[in-house]
């Protein structure tokens, strides 16, 4: 849904409408400023470095349902992750890693 909105914005900005293009750039600048501020507030490490310090979560079974946090208000839409691959699977929302725990 978000990506289709993005495509609509790109289409309107390329259709000979300079004002629409300028508005779109303004929104992007606000988003990146906000992100930079958020990163300064937390620590010197990037979010990707922080999440890489979290060890992969061992899960019994082939599928894990990730919600980002046990509190739904802090998490993300439920994401079902398949753990068939030997390497850890990464949640596309929160970056948490999961590995299948084998009992053999």
Options 9, 57, 90, 94; binder of Zn ion; rule CB under 5 A: 94
Site size toward Zn ion (CB under 5 A) is 5
Considering the rule CB under 5 A, would residue 68 count as an interface residue with Zn ion? yes
Segment interacting with Zn ion, rule: CB under 5 A, options 2-10, 26-34, 54-62, 92-100: 92-100
Instruction: Give the whole-angstrom CA distance, residue 102 versus residue 12.
Output: 51
Q: What CA–CA distances, in Å, run from 43 to 8, 46, 47, 68, 76?
A: 35, 8, 9, 20, 22
Segment interacting with Zn ion, rule: CB under 5 A, options 3-11, 26-34, 40-48, 83-91: 83-91
Considering the rule CB under 5 A, would residue 89 count as an interface residue with Zn ion? no
Considering the rule CB under 5 A, would residue 24 count as an interface residue with Zn ion? no
């Amino acid at each position: 849904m978000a990506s289709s909105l993005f495509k609509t914005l790109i289409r309107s900005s390329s259709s000979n409408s300079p004002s629409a293009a300028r508005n779109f750039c303004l929104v992007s600048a606000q988003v990146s400023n906000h992100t930079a501020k958020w990163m300064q507030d937390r620590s010197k490490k990037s979010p990707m470095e922080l999440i890489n310090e979290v060890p992969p979560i061992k899960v019994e079974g082939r599928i894990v349902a990730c919600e980002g946090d046990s509190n739904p208000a802090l998490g993300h839409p439920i994401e079902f992750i398949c753990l068939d691959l030997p390497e850890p699977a990464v949640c596309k929302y929160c970056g948490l890693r999961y590995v299948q725990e084998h009992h053999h």
